[in-house]
Amino acid sequence: MARRRRRSGTGSRGFLVASILLFMASVAAFIVLRTQSGEELIAKVKSLTAGAAPSCCGPGVVLNQFQIPVVAYLVNDLWRDGRARALKLPPRMSTPAQAVYVGLSSNGHILRETWVREGTVEDAVTAALTRFRSEMPAADRARVDAIELFLGHSFRPVAFDDYDEQIAANHHRGIRGLEISYQDRTELHSPLELIRRNVSADRLVRDFAAANHLDRATLLRHGSFRIFDGEQILVELGSEPKGWLMERGNTYVDVHDIDQSKVRKAVRLATDWLANNVGLDGALPYGYRPSELKPLEGTNRVRQWMASIALERATRLRLDQGIWELAERNLAYNIDTTYRQEGPLGVIVGTANDVSLGSVALAAMAITESHVSSRYTEQRDGLDATISALHQDNGAFRTYLRPPSRDDNQNFYPGETLLYWAERYQNQPDPALLGRFMTSFRYYRDWHREHRSPAFIGWHTEADYLIWRQTRDPALRDFVFEMNDWLLPLQQWAIPTEYRDLMGRFYAPNGHFGPPHASSTGIYLEGLVDAFRLARESGDAKRAEAYRIAILRGLRDVLQLQFVDDVDMFYIPRGFRPRVKGGIRTRGYDNVIRVDNVQHNLMAMLKVLAAFKPDDYRYPANVP
């Protein structure tokens, strides 16, 4: 099948030498490195080099993607014919089978699985497939369409004091295997299991404790734990078998491979996800749980109204009549089910009968941007009245009409409202509206300086840029630069992370700004694109370049998180893949798709397509 990602893996001694030289040039250069050195040096390199892992066997014998087709033919032959043709196998297949996982998959479901720890890796794979063939009826064997392998190596014990960092920490999820032992009972878990089930390693420990009638504390104190690395391989069976070397159940996206066509494809897939999930009544579910094949429970008015905006914007690029009709249906559904007229005020009623400034402002924006906005002028006027009622003379907004005691979400709702006002002013300049906007701009500029948070930046950047384009007020320009200059060091490029597939997201582990999240990356990118435009239009080439590079790094993360094909959907039954394809995971190790993950990143990529020239997608060769 066609692939849009560069394959990852390791290679020969020449590659090793080149890798070491690149690492010495900059520890921020994130590459895969294998070495024959001692454990202390391996651990040091691993802590500084993304994707690195202890070697099981020395240079040249750890599998790389170019060797996977031979492994795929071996597995295919063993399963279909019971014996393998004469093949020159990679040296890795002759190394000791420290822990080899073999799983038989049918339409995304595991039918049989086992671990083998005797002989060579080739012996282990052969023994597992031979046994499965002998045990299964022919009809069941015929259902198997893929085989999953995990070739474990480099076992390391984990002390009690290191449990939280080495096992419970989620960034290891989907990368490391886990061995749990208590007395005479031992369990092995492959990282593919954690990806397939979307569970944490700590959940596996709790399950082991429960199954053995232990409490978790006893198991942590008296059990033993080992973590281990290994190669993840997916083999698609058939007359022409295919194989993939996976990384966290996925294929790695290289920042150097991003171009306009890949962003266009990602936009199309994200739009299709929204379209495929709009119901006949126009409802768009809050999200989807791929591992459980069911919609995400709950709802959020703000995020679902943002989805209406995203669907409308996507139609402008697609010019697809079917998408236009879905956008109309979704807007009508949201108005029918959430809008209420309460005297002179138009409100969006939440599930707890609450009315937030954010939901009101985004509903007004959705109506304004809709191609059928003329149908809902009365509702928009009512929403405008509510926004005015929540705006105070000093420029601050009350963030809730109901309950009146609530005034949280100041990092979010005022920025969303100012963006709505900025769009209105852009469409129809009004001195009074501009005056109210600037009063709020000055108030929230001072507020942000006292309460720095990345959550504030995206919305206010977008709003300030739109007004700057109309007024050229230098105060707006300077604040946009101030906010985004502060944001850039919070991207996981300036802040190293152990695994390269997490690079590009915005997350400060010690910053107290909350966990990393795909929707956060999306809104930061939306703002960064406008900051990039502003820098370029202001003649600030240095800032424009810094923002451009940050945007490319963020896009790398977004493309990594998007479900795109049968490889990263290896555990999803084919009939359910339209509900998943194009969706964007919450994190690299959490496959839940939430509607705001998709909408923010879709709107960010639409902005990138509008703002970037073809050469802007080029990642500098001299930049790590």
Q: pLDDT digits over 135-182, tens only? A: 999 999 999 999 999 999 999 999 999 999 999 999 999 999 999 999
DSSP-derived secondary structure for 57-77: S-TT-S--GGGHHHHHHHHHH
Q: Are residues 264 and 242 in the same domain?
A: no
- Continuous segment of H or E residues that includes residue 242: strand 242-246
Whose tokens are 């497939």? That residue is 129
The answer as to whether 380 is a domain residue is: yes
What is the average pLDDT across 507-535?
A: 94
Q: What pLDDT sits at residue 511?
A: 79
Is the domain of 209 the same as that of 280?
no
In a domain, 33, yes or no: no
Rounded to an integer, what distance in angstroms lies between the CA atom of residue 231 and that of residue 36? 17
Report pLDDT digits (tens) over 27-46: 333 223 222 233 332 233 23
599 and 489 inside one domain: yes
* Torsion (CA) 244, 248, 252, 255 in degrees, nearest 10: 180
Query: Is the CA virtual torsion 349, 352, 357, 361 positive or negative?
Result: negative
On the question of pLDDT at 24 being above 80, the answer is no
Residues whose CB is less than 8 angstroms from the CB of residue 14 and which lie 6 or more positions away in sequence, other chains included: none
Angle between helices 321-338 and 301-318 (to 10 degrees): 160
Q: Is position 528 within any domain?
A: yes
User: Whole-angstrom Cα distance, residue 567 to residue 351?
Assistant: 38
pLDDT at 198: 98
In a shared domain, residues 429 and 547: yes
Domain identity same for 90 and 222: yes
Instruction: Tell me, yes or no, whether 597 lies in a domain.
Output: yes
40 or 487, which is more confident: 487
Q: Which residues contact 412 (CB under 8 A, 6 or more apart)?
A: 302, 358, 455, 456, 459
Q: Check whether 425 has a pLDDT greater than 70.
A: yes
Nearest to 418 by CA among 444, 394, 451, 400: 444
pLDDT at 51 over 50: no
Alpha-carbon Rg for the chain in angstroms: 26
Domain end point (choices 221, 246, 271): 246
**Domain co-membership, 181 together with 282:** no
- The three-state secondary structure class of 101 is strand
- The whole-number pLDDT of residue 56 equals 53
**What is the rounded end-to-end Cα distance, in angstroms, of the chain?**
31
The least confident of 12-26, 58-72, 119-133 is 12-26
Confidence at residue 57, expressed as pLDDT on a 0 to 100 scale: 55
Residue type, 139: A
CA proximity to 146, closest of 75, 58, 224: 75
- Residue 8 pLDDT > 50: no
Helix (H) or strand (E) holding 230: strand 224-236
Three-class HEC string of 476-522: HHHHHHHHHHHHHHHECCCCCCCCHHHCCCECCCCCCCCCCCHHHHH
Region of 210 please: left (phi>0), alpha (psi -120 to 50) or beta.
alpha
DSSP string, 34-64: ---S-HHHHHHHHHHSTT----SS-TT-S--
Residue 58 banded pLDDT, cuts 50, 70, 90: low
Handedness of CA 573, 574, 580, 582 (dihedral sign): positive
Domain membership of residue 288 (yes or no) is: yes
Helices (H), 295-371: 301-318, 321-338, 357-369
Q: Decide: 242 and 7 in contact? Cβ < 8 Å.
A: no
Per-residue pLDDT, averaged over 43-69, amounts to 56
**Of 577, 591, 461, nearest to 523 (Cα)?**
461
Look at the chain and report how many structural domains it folds into: 2
> What is the per-residue pLDDT across 199-235, written as a single tens digit (0 to 9) for each?
999 999 999 999 999 999 999 999 999 999 999 999 9
Q: Looking at the domain assignment, is residue 118 inside a domain? A: yes
Q: What is the mean pLDDT of the chain?
A: 90
User: Which CATH number does the domain housing residue 315 bear?
Assistant: 1.50.10.10
Where is the domain boundary, 246, 271, 288? Answer: 246
Is the pLDDT score of 21 beyond 70? no
Beta bridge partners of 116: 100
Q: Does a structural domain hold residue 623?
A: no
- Burial class of 249 by CB neighbour count within 10 A (0 to 12, 13 to 18, 19+): buried
CATH of the domain at 88: 3.30.1490.150
Is residue 296 a part of any domain in this protein? Answer: yes
Determine the Cα–Cα distance for residues 136 and 349; give it in Å rounded to an integer. 56
Our separate counts of H helices and E strands in the chain read 22, 15
Environment class of residue 21 by beta-carbon count within 10 Å: exposed (0-12), middle (13-18) or buried (19+)? exposed
Average pLDDT value for residue range 560-583: 97
Is 516 within 8 Å of 507 (Cβ atoms)?
A: yes
Residue 333 has pLDDT above 80, yes or no: yes
Task: Report cis status (omega within 30 of 0) of the bond before 69.
Answer: no
pTM for the full predicted model: 0.89
Helix (H) or strand (E) holding 102: strand 99-106
Output the DSSP codes for 199-218: --HHHHHHHHHHHTT--HHH
**Do 324 and 184 share a domain, yes or no?**
no
The DSSP H or E segment spanning 594 is strand 590-594
| Domain termination site, one of 220, 246, 272 | 246
H-type helices in 90-137, by residue range? 121-135
Please determine, for residue 450, whether its predicted confidence score (pLDDT) is greater than 60: yes
pLDDT value at 372 more than 60: yes
For residues 211 and 118, state if they share a domain.
yes
Cβ contacts of residue 473 below 8 Å, gap of 6+?
438, 467
Q: Are both 262 and 220 inside the same structural domain?
A: no
Shared domain check, 382 and 522: yes
Question: Which percentage of the chain shows pLDDT scores above 90?
Answer: 85
Identify whether residues 357 and 498 lie together within a single domain.
yes
* CA-to-CA dists, residue 518 to 137, 196, 220, 500, 525, angstroms: 44, 19, 32, 16, 11
pLDDT at position 354 over 90: yes
How far apart (Å, rounded) are the C-alpha atoms in residues 309 and 325? 14
Per the structure, the complete domain to which residue 350 belongs is given by: 255-617
**Bridge partners, residue 179, by sequence:** 188, 226
Confidence of residue 59 (pLDDT cuts 50, 70, 90): low
Let me know whether 265 and 172 are in one domain.
no
Mean pLDDT, residues 48-66: 56
